[in-house]
Amino acid sequence: MHIPIKRSKTNQIFGGVVAGLCEHYDWDPAIGRVLYVVLTITPVFPGIIVYLLLWLLMEKPE
């Protein structure tokens, strides 16, 4: 099962997941990364698990 959003090939730091989401929705990747880190340090959002799942489910960059 894959989701139709591709990971970023040019704007990646670790796996390109957050940058790929930001490119798909026309957001600034720096702001997306900051929001993701803020959500990850909250106890309600399991950020590392969600990141790894998205990494597996998102399409590879071409």
31 or 3, higher pLDDT: 31
pTM: 0.82
| Confidence (pLDDT) at 18 | 92
Q: Is the pLDDT of residue 2 over 80?
A: no
DSSP 28: -
CA–CA dist 1, 25 (Å, integer): 21
pLDDT digits (tens, 9 = 90+) for 4-37: 889 988 888 888 999 999 999 999 999 999 999 9
| Confidence (pLDDT) at 22 | 93
| Confidence (pLDDT) at 21 | 92
